[in-house]
Amino acid sequence: MLKVQQALLVEGKYDAARLSNLVEGTILTTDGFRVMKDRALQELLKQLAKKQGLIILTDSDAAGFKIRHFVTGLVGAAHVLQAYVPAIPGKEARKEIPGKEGLLGVEGVSDVLILQALQDALKSAPATEGMHQKDEQPITYTDLYEWGISGTANSA
């Protein structure tokens, strides 16, 4: 299992479930394009990116790249590591038909390719510049409560 200090951002719940078997760390989802409208999620991503850094791992299709660029612009490229899975034709086992572009998403790519993408992203990290600093504390449940992300009315 690969341990990462940065928060890992993927598109959907199936991607997150898949990665929870491969990675030890914080895994968040954009819920597709919801990230472009959801101000609370955007604020959470900004805070996480500044406190511990963010690794973005989206599908290799147009939607994945659009989400990747939006989030990178939102939180600042200095706080982001980019992890890329290869564009492989196919469909996920749970789906009846392939996606619009006919490519496997993160959930459909082999464990080896996912881990390689994450390791490549981690190797490209600048020496803690813009990432989690030693004097900073990791995000706690209290932080999530204070930001209105967890434990309050209408939190998710």
Segment 69-128, tens digit of pLDDT: 999 999 999 999 999 998 888 888 788 777 788 788 888 888 999 999 999 999 887 754
Measured in whole angstroms, the distance separating CA 153 from the mean position of its chain's CA atoms is 25
Task: Look up residue 81 and give its two tokens.
Answer: 């590591």
Q: Does 11 reside within a domain?
A: yes
- Residue 126 identity: P
Q: Does 120 reside within a domain?
A: yes
CB 28 within 8 A of CB 34: no
- 119: CATH: 3.40.1360.10
User: Can you give the pLDDT at residue 97?
Assistant: 78
Residue 25, pLDDT > 50, answer yes
Task: Look up residue 86 and give its two tokens.
Answer: 């290869």
Residues sharing a CB contact under 8 Å with residue 61, sequence separation 6 or more, in sequence order: 87, 99, 100, 101, 103, 105
pTM of the model: 0.75
Q: Does 84 reside within a domain?
A: yes
Q: Does 154 reside within a domain?
A: no
Residue 43, pLDDT > 50, answer yes
Q: Does 151 reside within a domain?
A: no
User: Can you give the pLDDT at residue 9?
Assistant: 95
Beta pairing, strands 23-24 & 2-3: parallel
Q: Does 93 reside within a domain?
A: yes
Domain extent for 20: 2-146
CB 75 within 8 A of CB 46: yes
Give tens-digit pLDDT for 141-155: 777 777 777 777 777
Q: How many helices (H) and strands (E) does the chain have?
A: 5, 6
Q: Does 83 reside within a domain?
A: yes
Structural domain count, the chain: 1
